[in-house]
Amino acid sequence: MMRDRVLAKPAWRNFLHLEGLHDLPVPALLAADQLFEDIRTTGTTSPTPSDYATWAQRSGMEPCAWLDTLTGAAEVILPSELGNIAAARRLLRPTSPAGCSATSCQKVTGSTWDPCARVPSSRARQVSVHPWDLPEAWQTALRRAAQGLPGKKAAAPAHHILQRMQEKLCQLAWAAREAGLEIGLTEPALRAYLEALEARLRARKHSIRWATLRATVEELYRFARYVGDISDTDLSYLRKRLGRYEVLEKGQDALKFATLLETGNTTLTLLDQADSLLTRAACAKTPAARHRLRNAAAILGLYSIVPLRNADAGLILGKTLIWQSEAWIINTQIRKTRHRSPELLVVPLEPAFGRYVDAVVQGDFDPRYLPALREQACASGHPLILHADGSHTSPTHIPRVFREQTGNSFTTTRTMLHSDQAISRGEQGTRDAMVMAHQTSPQTARKYQARRVRQVAVERVQEAAAARRATLLPTELLTAINVINTKDRTDP
């Protein structure tokens, strides 16, 4: 019998006298027998939770199920190890995480989404109507666009653009109704909506942001071209407002620049903060707290040096984040706004930055298991950033954590990188930052250099000009000029 063959092994000699041993189920005996074999093979004398978790992953069974089976045997033969076995179970993430991944959540196809579907028990809205209250012609057009069908004068927009378009149309309908106007893409309705939106924006902390208004009119103009039955007069009005907002936007620093100047964050300060989070993780009392802090450290440490866009931030182990040639490598496609074809970005991470990935992959395991954990992580195909219970995060999770930790939006990572590199390394730094941020246009680089960079450039030009002038002017004349300048500053 299987039970007799197991108990006849030398490793079991010291346990044969224990009461209840012969009543243990065969699966429990086999789990304990595998444990003894692992201990003998590895030469382990005092197994840790990391050891138990690693052995569970090699068992050929579902790891948590193997630990549960082993617990039954340990209650009889190794009660002192029950705590370590329970701790090992907490180290293991569920193999079937709940929820959908960030990547899969983004892949909502038009055929499965009705942009005007009625939602039961929906919340009351303040400045927009519900999608199902839009004019029937608009609902029909939105549903056609959701199915990928072309309009009269434009192709169907991408899903995320269609969502924004729907939101703006709902706001337009509300504004027209409040003004007592017929709902439609007419100049009176558009004027009422944009004036109401401007008034709301002016009341905010950072006042009006012309980029918001430009984006709003852009979506309305896109929808007008899609439906194709708007009058030339109304379409001309939309084009004029769009051009006006574009000009005003160019004369206003982006809000992310302003908030970045307020917080004073730089790439280096974010990396310091990431290191601090790892230190806090080591001292946290609960596994969940340690997990959250390691995740936050990875978000700050990785994306401050590789400024991915929101849509590309959900790195997948073994797919867009791989371990190769003793280094972590980001290998992902960049999906830029208005670009139909994604572009490939490959960034081998230096050890100083790859360690943030290692911290998440290692978790609470002993460092000696890191090579095996890397291999398992890449084979899993899971996102790098998961919740503590192993469930997938939402597409907004990484940007939200970044804002909570830094006070800045996730999009400021490119601004910070441009600022730091331009200040410290000049034009070469700007070119390198463009490569890292996957940008090609010089106008883009200038856009992402904040006011602080421009100020430093002005100061450097002045200092260089003053130094050059000092070498050209006669000493006596330079002394006389300095005396005059000093006198002007001291005279009342």
Q: CA separation (Å) from 397 to 175, 269, 314?
A: 32, 22, 9
CA angle 157, 162, 164 (to 5 degrees): 130
- Tell me: the pLDDT tens digits for 44-55? 888 888 888 888
Q: pLDDT-based confidence at 149, cuts 50/70/90?
A: confident
Distance CA 391, CA 36 (A): 33
Query: Which of 10-14, 289-293, 319-323, 429-433 is predicted with the least confidence, judged by mean pLDDT?
Result: 429-433
Q: Which residue has the tokens 């600022």?
A: 419
- Tell me: the pLDDT tens digits for 31-41? 888 888 888 88
Residue 69, judged by CB atoms within 10 A of its CB (0-12, 13-18, 19+), counts as buried
Q: pLDDT-based confidence at 257, cuts 50/70/90?
A: very low
> 0.85 exceeded by the pTM?
no
Domains of the chain, residue spans: 2-91, 123-252, 260-419
Question: For position 467, what pLDDT does the model report?
Answer: 60
- 52, 34 Cβ separation under 8 angstroms: no
Instruction: Considering only residues 270 and 110, tell me which one the structure prediction assigns the higher pLDDT.
Output: 270
Distance CA 356, CA 404 (A): 18
Q: Indicate the SS3 state at residue 491.
A: coil
Examine the pLDDT at 461 and tell me if it is beyond 70. Answer: no
- Percent of the chain past pLDDT 70, that is, above it, reads 73
- Tell me: the pLDDT tens digits for 314-349? 899 999 999 988 889 988 877 654 444 566 778 888
Please report how many Cα atoms fall inside a 13 Å half-sphere around the Cα of residue 151, on the Cβ side.
23
CA angle 204, 398, 345 (to 5 degrees): 115
Question: For position 23, what pLDDT does the model report?
Answer: 81
Q: Give long-range contacts, CB 8 A cutoff, 24+ apart: 319-326.
A: 319/381, 321/357, 321/384, 322/378, 323/374, 323/375, 323/377, 323/378
Structure tokens at 396: 């907004």
Instruction: Considering only residues 135 and 396, tell me which one the structure prediction assigns the higher pLDDT.
Output: 135
- Percent of the chain past pLDDT 90, that is, above it, reads 24
Examine the pLDDT at 475 and tell me if it is beyond 70. Answer: no
Examine the pLDDT at 144 and tell me if it is beyond 80. Answer: yes
Distance CA 271, CA 285 (A): 24
- 444, 415 Cβ separation under 8 angstroms: no
Examine the pLDDT at 24 and tell me if it is beyond 60. Answer: yes
Q: For domain 260-419, give the fold.
A: hpI Integrase; Chain A (1.10.443)
**Residues contacting 201, CB < 8 A, separation 6+:** 207, 208, 209, 212, 213
**Residues contacting 27, CB < 8 A, separation 6+:** 69
Helix (H) or strand (E) holding 346: strand 343-348
User: What is the number of residues in the chain?
Assistant: 492
- Tell me: the pLDDT tens digits for 167-212? 999 999 999 999 999 999 999 999 999 999 988 888 876 667 777 8
- Tell me: the pLDDT tens digits for 88-99? 888 876 544 444
